Amino acid sequence: MIYNIEKNNYLISTDKNKIDIAYVHAFLSQSYWSPGVPIKVVKKAMTGSLAFGVYYKDKQVGYARMVTDKATFAYLADVFIDEDHRGKGLAKWLVEMILAHPQLRGLRRILLATKDAHKLYEQCGFTAINNPERYMVYNPSAYKSK
């Protein structure tokens, strides 16, 4: 099922055929959360996720993906808006549209990690983890050369 929402010349779509993998890879490989990520990993991650592209007049200007079992759990990842299109509320709109997606309704828990966008996610209903001591992570430096 492809999900398309339009607003003010912008489109959010789950059509993976529209996603510009080279654009997404260029951004993610320079981001603080996935520096140096190989393009084959970006492709594989997109394939295994519910992916959302943001477009302005058919040019991709943003991206996000939800890793989910579509029943109880999801992890929101790789959310970004191109610098030239920031300050227009697009990131908030993108997150709101992701949370409203029919396949994501009724989940027990949605997690995300951010270094600097807490205010954005709080506007969409996210809060700090109540019991962070319960959560653990494995291999957070997967893309660095050894």
Domains of the chain as residue ranges with CATH: 4-134 (3.40.630.30)
Does position 116 have pLDDT exceeding 60, yes or no?
yes
Reading the block at residue 100, the tokens are 């409203």
Q: How confident is the model at residue 138 (pLDDT cuts 50, 70, 90)?
A: confident
- Calculate mean pLDDT across residues 15-40: 96
Q: Residue 145's pLDDT is what?
A: 54
Which is it for the CA torsion 120, 60, 68, 35, positive or negative? negative
- Calculate mean pLDDT across residues 111-139: 92
Average pLDDT, the chain: 93
Give 72-111 pLDDT, tens digit per residue. Answer: 999 999 999 999 999 999 999 999 999 999 999 999 999 9
Contact yes or no for 111/76 (Cβ under 8 A): yes
Q: Residue 110's pLDDT is what?
A: 96
Reference 90, options 26, 14, 7; nearest CA is 7
- Calculate mean pLDDT across residues 17-39: 95
Q: pTM, whole model, 2 decimals?
A: 0.91
Residue with tokens 């969409």: 124
Q: How confident is the model at residue 146 (pLDDT cuts 50, 70, 90)?
A: very low
- Calculate mean pLDDT across residues 21-27: 98
Contact yes or no for 16/4 (Cβ under 8 A): no
CA distance 37 to 117: 21
Cα-flanking dihedrals φ and ψ of residue 97, to 5°? -70, -35
Contact yes or no for 82/62 (Cβ under 8 A): yes
